[in-house]
Amino acid sequence: MMRLFVEGIGVLGPGLNGWHADRTVLAERKPYVSAPTVLAPSEMLPPPERRRTGVPVKLALAVGREAFANAERDASATATVFASSGGDADNVHQICEALASPQREVSPTRFHNSVHNAAAGYWSIASRSQEPSTSLACFDASFAAGMLETAVQITVEGRPVALIAYDQPYPEPLGAARHIGANFGVAMVLVPQRTPRAFAAVEVQLVAAEATPSSMADPGLEALRAGTPAARSLPLLGALARGDTGFVVVEYVGGNHLRLAVAPC
Q: φ and ψ at 106, to 5 degrees?
A: -105, 130
Domain boundaries, the chain: 2-198
Three-state SS string over 3-27 comes to EEEEEEEEEEECCECCCCCCHHHHC
pLDDT digits (tens, 9 = 90+) for 97-120: 778 888 888 877 777 777 889 899
pTM: 0.94
- CA-CA distance, 225 to 231, in Å (whole number)? 5
pLDDT digits (tens, 9 = 90+) for 153-163: 999 999 999 99
Answer whether residue 27 shows pLDDT above 90. Answer: yes
Identify the pLDDT of residue 184: 98
Four-way CATH pick for 2-198: 3.30.70.240, 3.90.1170.50, 3.40.50.300, 3.40.47.10: 3.40.47.10
Going by pLDDT thresholds of 50, 70 and 90, the confidence category of residue 151 is very high
Answer whether residue 209 shows pLDDT above 80. Answer: no
pLDDT digits (tens, 9 = 90+) for 32-65: 999 999 998 888 888 878 877 888 999 999 999 9
Answer whether residue 196 shows pLDDT above 90. Answer: yes
Per 3-state DSSP, the chain is made up of helix, strand and coil in percentages (nearest 5) of 40, 20, 40
Q: Which residues pair with 260 in a beta bridge?
A: 204, 248
DSSP assignment of 63-83: HHHHHHHHHT--GGGSEEEEE
- CA-CA distance, 81 to 120, in Å (whole number)? 8
Answer whether residue 224 shows pLDDT above 90. Answer: yes
